[in-house]
Each structure stands twice: as structure tokens, then as C-alpha cells.
Amino acid sequence: METNGLSFAALPQTAIRIITAPSEYFREMPKSGGFLEPIIFVGVMGFAAGIILAIWSLLGFGYGGQAPPGLAAIFLSIIYLPVIFIIAIFIGAAILFYIWKLMGSTQNYEVSYLCMASLTALAPIAALIEVVPYAGTILSFAIGVYYIVIVSNEVNHIPVRKALQIFGIIGAILTIFLLYSECSVRNRYATPEQVRKAAEETSREYQLYLEEARKQTARNR
């Protein structure tokens, strides 16, 4: 990402530029500049994503529509998520660095980290669409693959077709894995509608039991 001086006010504009003009941004992206500003950018994007996820949780739109956790847990998740993002980006950058190396890139690890840090601009978007069951996961990975292919071409000079083949396969495998995980989590929790129907069914059965008990009492008199 651009590292020409630290400016918190410029971070939203940088994120918008990454999202709306990725080819231009990554083509012109400085290949050095240190880790401070990228780390701050990653933290801010993680915080923004955490806010969105907290709102979904408060509204009961988590996996399976389960009741939201306590407010303390939600606020802690907002604090923890930027830290998790910062750590994960270092690891993800290392993975991409070796993949790009195997594909013929000559860039160093710092460039891979700058690319990964810039791609966290997509985190708030992913958090927004995550509320859509299953389709949100598929769309998130499709968007991610699209931007990584652009980065592969503009920064690492890897042909688009080659990048699309490699990262398309990786994205498809990860999508299937996450869809399976999402399905497992959703099946583990009852939705509010399921809880309501179960409560109504229990109430009907209880009323039938009381009616039968009254009839039995009347017959015994």
C-alpha cells in the first residue's frame, strides 16, 4: 500500500481506491516503505469489519440466527479482531510470497506483505455480505480471487490466465471447506423460527395433555 507518510484521514480514501481501481493502485503501489503504515491500515480495516460483525451479531444474524453473545463478548471481539488481522496478514503474506515465487515472481516478502495489507480493504465488504447464508461465503471468495489475480498480474507480473487457474483452484477448495464449516455451525443451532415452532408444538402437546387429564378426572367421578 502507499506509504508516503502516515495519515489516518487518508486511510478511507486509500481503501476506496483499492476497491474501485485495483489495477491502477497496485500498478503504482510503492514496493517498499516499511511495515508501520500497513499494520495500522490492517488494524483499521479489522476494526471496521469487527464493528459490522458486531452489528450483525446484535441483530441476531449470526450463524443459524442464534442469540447474540453478551455485550462484553461482542466488544471484546471488536478489540481482538484487528490484532488477529495483523497477525494473520504476516502469515498470509508468507504463504502468498512462496506461491508467487513458485509461479515465477521476483518480488520480495515485503512486497507480498504490502499487497496482503492492501487487500484487507475488502474485509468490511466481506463482513457486510457474510450475513447472507452460504452465498455470502461464495461471493467473498470470488471477490478475493478476483483481486488476488489483479495483484498477481500488476505487481508480480504473472499472466492473468495462470493466476486465475492457480488461485481459482485454491479459492474453490477453501470455499468448499468454509461452506462445510458454515453448514455444520448452522445445523448446530436452532433458528428463532425453529425455536418458535418447537415452543408452539410443546404448548399444543401440553394443552392436549391437560384436556385428556380433565376428561379422565371427569370419567372417574
d(CA 92, CA 112): 9
The model's pTM: 0.75
* pLDDT tens across the length of the chain (221 residues): 554 455 677 888 999 999 999 999 999 998 888 888 899 999 999 999 999 988 887 877 754 444 455 566 677 778 888 999 999 999 999 999 999 999 999 999 999 999 999 999 999 999 999 888 788 888 999 999 999 999 999 999 999 999 999 999 999 998 898 888 777 766 665 455 554 555 566 566 646 655 665 666 566 55
